[in-house]
Homo-oligomer: A and B are copies of this chain.
Amino acid sequence: MTAAGKHQVSRSSGRRLGRAGIRDVAAAAGVSITTVSDALNGKGRLPDATRRHVREVADRLGYRPSAAARTLRTGKSGLIGLTVTTYGEEPFTFTEFAYFADMVRAATSTALARGYALVILPAPARQRTVDVWSNVALDGTVVIDPADHDPVVTELVQQGIPVVSDGRPADSLPVTAWVDNDHEAAVTHLLDHLAESGARRIGLLTGTSTDTYTRLSTTAYLRWCERVGQDPVYEAYPAHDPRQGAVAADRLLARPDRPDAVYGLFDPNGTDLLAAARRYGLRVPEDLLLVCCSESTVYAATEPPITTLSLKPGRIGTTVVQLLIDAIEGEDSGPFAEAGDSATTGDPRQQIMPTDLIVRTSSQRRTRRTTVSAPRAPSGDD
C-alpha cells in the first residue's frame, strides 16, 4: 500500500498561500515539474515550443524559484561573505576610508557580474556574530585584512569553503588565496621620490595597530632609513580614531628633530598634516613635503594639492572576488569525487597588485606654485 504516489498530486491541489510554486506552473502548463525545471534552467533537451510555453506560464503566474530550495538541493547559494577586522569598538569600519569603499564597490560589481551577491558579515569579535555567520549559506568568503588567528577563517577553510583575503595573512592562516599590494616597494619608492625632491629627513605618521599594512609599511620605512642613514622620525597613533590623526600630526611637527617631509599612512593624514603645517607656519611644499596614502579625490583640490599613494583598491577588490569565484567553481568537482580529496590542496595562491603614486604639488620641491591660482584647468590633476 504505497501511499507515496499520492503525495505530489495532493500537494498540488493544496492551497498556495502566496507565491506560485513549481508545481503550480507544471499544472498550469500541463507538464511535469521536471519539464518546468528544465525549461526554466535551460537544461534537458526540450523542444523550444515547450520551453517557451512553460516560461510564459511561469511569467503569467509570477513564479519565482525558491532560492532556499535551490540552495539546499544544489549546495550552492550564490552568496559570498565579505568581512573586515574590527577597529576599536565599532563592529567594523570598512566604510570609514575611501579604500574600503572602493574595494567593496569593485568587489560587489565583480561578484554581481558573475552571478554572485555579497553578504556583509562582522568580524568574529563577540559571541553574537558567530550566529549570523552560521545562519547564512556561503559559497565562499572574502576577508579583508584578516587577524593573525582568525577563527572564522580557520573554520570556513576546514569546512571546505574557499576564503580569499585582501591583505596577506599570517603564515598560520590557511586561506585559499590572497591579494595584496607590495607595500614595501610602494613605501620605498615613495620615500625615494621624496628624497629626490630634496627631503633630508622624512618623517612617518603611522598606526599603533598590528595589521599587516601598518606593519609592512613601517618596516619598509625603517629599513629605508637604515639604508640611507637617516634617523627614523615617526609618530604612531590609533588609526581607528580619526581625531588622533591631527594630534599625532601635531606631535610629529613639534618634535625638535622636525622632519622636512612626511608620509602619512592613513587616508585623513593629508589634511591632518596640512593643518598641522599651517599651525606651525610651515609652507607646503617649500618647508615641508607631504605624501599620504589615500584614495580620496579631495587631495587633488586641497591647497596645495597633495601627493597620494593609491593602493588601487578597486583592482584588489576585483581580483579578490575573481580568485574566490574561481576557487568556488573550480573545486566543484562534484559531490562524488571524494577519492583524491584533499590531495590538490597546495599552497594558497597569492597575487601582488601594483600601487600608484600620484604626484602633486605637495611633494615637488622645485615648483612654481602650480597650485590653483593658475587660470583654468578644470580637470585638475596637474
Q: Determine, out of A115-123, A185-193, A213-221, A351-359, the stretch whose residues face the partner at the interface.
A: A115-123
Q: Does A372 sit at the interface, judged by CB under 8 A? A: yes
Q: Are B335 and A17 in contact (CB under 8 A)?
A: yes
Q: Does A229 sit at the interface, judged by CB under 8 A? A: no
Known: A17-B338, A298-B296. A67 touches B272 (CB 8 A): no
In the complex, residue of chain B having the shortest beta-carbon distance to the beta carbon of A112: B122
Chain A, 139-162, CB within 8 A of any chain B CB: 158-160
Q: Does A208 sit at the interface, judged by CB under 8 A? A: no
In the complex, residue of chain B having the shortest beta-carbon distance to the beta carbon of A336: B17
Q: Are B95 and A112 in contact (CB under 8 A)?
A: no
Chain B residues whose C-beta falls within 8 Å of the C-beta of A70 in the assembled complex: 135
Chain B residues whose C-beta falls within 8 Å of the C-beta of A77 in the assembled complex: 67-68, 136
In the complex, residue of chain B having the shortest beta-carbon distance to the beta carbon of A244: B378
Interface residue tally of chain A, by bracket?
Answer: 35 or more
Q: Does A174 sit at the interface, judged by CB under 8 A? A: no
Q: Could you say which of B18, B67, B296, B302 contacts A302, with CB atoms under 8 Å apart?
A: B302
Q: Are B95 and A379 in contact (CB under 8 A)?
A: no
Q: How would residues 41 to 66 of chain A score, 1 for a CB under 8 Å from any chain B CB and 0 otherwise?
A: 00000000000000000000010111
Q: Determine, out of A21-29, A97-105, A197-205, A285-293, the stretch whose residues face the partner at the interface.
A: A97-105
7 more CB-based (< 8 A) A-B contacts, given A67-B134, A78-B136: A17-B335, A79-B136, A91-B112, A92-B105, A250-B376, A275-B380, A279-B372
